């Protein structure tokens, strides 16, 4: 298990071509709000993700990420602003060698390989530096782009949950993907 002490000594930022995975800052709130206030993004997120997203929502979301000690909660930055987010919640107790992956990139940055590179970077880091043996993500079956970036990174489908989530007044299927060493 990665302790709070170990989290404070992590080798962050992680670099990817043209971007970095770094700690959030309070100054990221404006960019977070700009990219998160998007129905197309919210459709593929948990309902707890704010939509519409205002400045106060963005500040709260970033503050929450900064105060967590149970994993990596990082901004995807391009040198000027945060264009996305990636997190790896690391479990405890009997699942202490597992982490659940979440990620998202602002719509203007879709299709540029940013999510693919970010997932590759955080996965490699978690499996080598943090000694995890399993990383997994649950995505809506309708989110083909998300499924594709996981597959590109060697994640394999392990489960399919028919009517696994309820979003926007309808049941959706959810797919479980995992990368295991």
pLDDT tens-digit readout, 15-71: 999 999 999 999 999 999 999 999 999 999 999 999 999 999 999 999 999 999 999
- Cα–Cα distance between 20 and 23 in angstroms, integer? 10
> Model confidence at 125, in pLDDT bands (50, 70, 90)?
very high
pLDDT class of 5 with cuts at 50, 70, 90: very low
Look at 8-17, 21-30, 88-97 and tell me which has the smallest mean pLDDT: 8-17
User: Cβ(109)–Cβ(83) under 8 Å?
Assistant: yes
Digit-coded pLDDT (tens) for 144-172? 999 999 999 999 999 999 999 999 999 99
pTM (2 d.p.): 0.93
Beta strand 82-90 pairing with 134-140: unpaired
Look at residues 153, 159, 22, 36 and name the one whose alpha carbon lies nearest to residue 79.
22
DSSP H helices, the chain, are 4-8, 29-36, 39-42, 55-67, 114-128, 144-152
Q: Strand 14-16 to strand 82-90: parallel, antiparallel, or no bridges (unpaired)?
A: unpaired
Q: Which residues contact 94 (CB under 8 A, 6 or more apart)?
A: none
- What sign results for the dihedral spanned by CA atoms 179, 158, 112, 49? negative
Which tokens is 21 given? 């995975």
- Amino acid 178: pLDDT: 98
Confidence at 11, pLDDT banded by 50, 70, 90: confident
């Amino acid at each position: 298990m990665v302790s709070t002490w170990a989290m404070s000594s992590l080798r962050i930022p992680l670099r990817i071509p043209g971007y970095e995975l770094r700690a959030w800052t309070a100054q990221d709130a404006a960019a977070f709000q700009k990219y998160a206030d998007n129905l197309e993004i919210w459709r593929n997120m948990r309902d707890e993700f704010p939509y519409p997203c205002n400045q106060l929502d963005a500040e709260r979301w970033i503050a929450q990420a900064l105060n967590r000690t149970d994993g990596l909660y990082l901004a995807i930055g391009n040198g000027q602003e945060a264009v996305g987010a990636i997190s790896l919640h690391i479990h405890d107790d009997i699942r202490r060698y597992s982490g659940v992956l979440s990620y998202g990139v602002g719509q203007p940055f879709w299709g540029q390989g940013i999510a693919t590179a970010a997932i590759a970077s955080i996965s490699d880091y978690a499996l080598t530096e943090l000694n995890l043996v399993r990383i997994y993500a649950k995505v809506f079956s309708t989110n083909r782009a998300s499924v594709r970036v996981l597959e590109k990174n060697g994640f394999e489908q392990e489960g399919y949950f028919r009517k696994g989530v309820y979003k926007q007044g309808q049941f959706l299927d959810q797919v479980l993907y995992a990368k295991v060493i």
